[in-house]
Copies of this chain bind each other. A is one copy, B any other.
Amino acid sequence: MIERFKKRIKLDSSVVRGSGDDCAVLKFTQDKYLLMTCDMIVEGVDFTLKAKPELIGRKAIAISISDIAACGGAPRHCVISMGIPKAMSVEAIDRISKGMFDIAKVYRINIVGGDISRSEKLVIDVSMLGEVEKKNLVLRSGAKKGDIIFVSGELGGSIRGKHLSFTPRLKEARTLVNKFKINSMIDISDGLTQDLTHILRMSKKGAVIYEDLIPVSLDAQDIEDALSSGEDFELLFTVSKNEARKIMKLKMSNFYAIGEILDQSAGFNIVDKVKRHKPLRPKGFRHF
């Protein structure tokens, strides 16, 4: 459906990149682009009302921070629309908004507006503006043959809590774009396999990843869970072998090399523990 939408869209020259990446990229100043993204979370789909209200508010904003980070930028401003069920207590709403204000403060984001509506189920939509130095912009489409593929942390099992309380990898992303040449990047929201597929499709490349190298979270049930389950919100990025060597020497961070970018004709394969090559098909979270 999103693909069908995109075909219809006419954009003027002030749009550097429209939909199809983690953020839209818009002309801004001589040195910087403006980044824009929106993310909607819905009760019963992305959270339940059993969750701590603060964490619901926090998640609504953290998802957009993660998108801005995945493009190499820094978040700046956001607006928040909320559809609130009539039965929801003022205390719950206050606690949701506290979760929003707290994370906005930590990441120095201005909450500059909003809209409140009535709705049967709680729904929160956050639209965020960020800024990125032109030289630091990273898109999904820049992966090159021979690139090493990295993830920024352990994968899988986020349903057991991390999907609500994850830390957007802003600091890591900013370090990466400031110190290294990052060829492509995305945040893992739909699952490793599916999000790497997004990079491969946009970059017209293939890839191989190694089961032995995938950092599987203690919360994950198995490797399949680490490959497919959504909402890890780790960074997935590719860099040249030369840059990869430097990144692997970094002490500060949890970056794991998991595979390599290949020609598109090589397809997308995983090498399992007994060295068998198996084709990967995206099985990540789908809303429909």
Distance of A125 Cα from B113 Cα, bound (Å): 13
- Does A111 sit within 8 A of B, measured CB to CB? yes
Report yes or no: A36 in contact with B83, Cβ–Cβ below 8 A.
no
- 16 other A-B residue contacts (CB within 8 Å) besides A15-B112, A36-B77: A19-B112, A23-B113, A29-B29, A36-B112, A37-B79, A37-B113, A38-B127, A40-B117, A40-B123, A42-B83, A45-B118, A45-B119, A83-B123, A115-B125, A117-B287, A129-B129
Distance of A19 Cα from B119 Cα, bound (Å): 22
Which A residues between 19 and 59 are near B, CB-CB below 8 angstroms?
Answer: 19, 23-24, 26, 28-29, 36-42, 44-46
Distance of A110 Cα from B11 Cα, bound (Å): 5
Inside 8 A of A123's CB, which chain B residues have their CB? 40, 42, 83, 119, 123
Min CB–CB distance A115 → chain B (angstroms): 5
- Does A252 sit within 8 A of B, measured CB to CB? no
When A83-B40, A93-B1 are in contact, do A11 and B117 touch as well, CB less than 8 Å? no
When A12-B108, A110-B12, A125-B125 are in contact, do A80 and B117 touch as well, CB less than 8 Å? no
A-B contact pairs, 19 of them (CB 8 A): A1-B93, A8-B97, A9-B110, A9-B111, A15-B110, A15-B112, A18-B112, A37-B113, A38-B79, A39-B115, A40-B81, A40-B83, A40-B125, A41-B117, A42-B83, A83-B123, A120-B121, A121-B121, A125-B125
- Does A90 sit within 8 A of B, measured CB to CB? yes
Distance of A90 Cα from B24 Cα, bound (Å): 25
Report yes or no: A19 in contact with B114, Cβ–Cβ below 8 A.
yes
- Does A180 sit within 8 A of B, measured CB to CB? no
Inside 8 A of A83's CB, which chain B residues have their CB? 40, 42, 123
Distance of A90 Cα from B5 Cα, bound (Å): 12
Distance of A112 Cα from B26 Cα, bound (Å): 9
Min CB–CB distance A100 → chain B (angstroms): 9
Which A residues between 63 and 81 are near B, CB-CB below 8 angstroms?
Answer: 76-77, 79-81
> Looking at the complex, which one of B19, B29, B119 makes contact with A121 (CB distance below 8 Å)?
B119
Closest 7 CB pairs of A and B: A127-B127, A24-B112, A40-B81, A125-B125, A38-B79, A24-B113, A19-B113
Inside 8 A of A4's CB, which chain B residues have their CB? 94
Distance of A196 Cα from B9 Cα, bound (Å): 38
Inside 8 A of A113's CB, which chain B residues have their CB? 18-19, 23-24, 36-38
Distance of A13 Cα from B190 Cα, bound (Å): 36
User: Across the two chains, which residue of chain B brings its CB closest to A114?
Assistant: B19
